[in-house]
Amino acid sequence: MKNIITTYPNKELFEKTRDIPKEDIRSETFSQIGSAMLEILRKKKGVGLSANQVGLPLNMCVIEVNVNDPKILLNPRVIKQSDKTEKSMEGCLSLPGTSCTVNRHSNVTVEYETVTGETETIEAEGLLSKCLQHEIDHLNGIMMVNRLNAYHKEKTLKNYFNFKKAMNGSKR
């Protein structure tokens, strides 16, 4: 696993991750990967991070919307979503320095496996709902800019590349 975040336009971000076989889940490996991902997430001051953002093609993400309630989700999948949608201002660790407005379902129900192999369900609304949808999109090879119309995608990417250029200039 890389200690740095994979950024746009790396092709790994646009590839669907592979499910983790149920019989492999209970190994100490996924608990360790999850803990390392949470550490990276906290350093970057994010609320969600998918495995493909750190170079692992695994269907796995971590979410920490509430400081004392970190979640490590293996094979997360949306099993129910509200018809109602709402606009969500989002940022992305793979697109630093920019944000955009994405249309998301107001509520989702997500089923996933824990690092101990238990199947659990989260019924989410608000920021947790948006974060789950954002990370599951990542795991399916979809970035937030893929949810925008051409004009807004171009504008968001222009902001990102300007930020990246400014950051590279400040490192000299």
Distance separating the N- and C-terminal Cα atoms of the chain: 28
Distance of alpha carbon 66 from alpha carbon 41, whole angstroms: 13
Residues annotated catalytic, as ranges = 135
Half-sphere exposure (Cβ direction) of 76: Cα atoms closer than 13 Å:
28
In three-state form (DSSP H/G/I as H, E/B as E, the rest C), the secondary structure along the chain is CCCCCCCCCCHHHHCCCECCCHHHCCCHHHHHHHHHHHHHHHHCCCCEEEHHHHCCCECEEEECCCCCCCEEEEEEEEEEECCCEEEEEEECCCCCCCEEEEEEECEEEEEEECCCCCEEEEEEEHHHHHHHHHHHHHHCCCCHHHHCCHHHHHHHHHHHHHHHHHHHHHCC
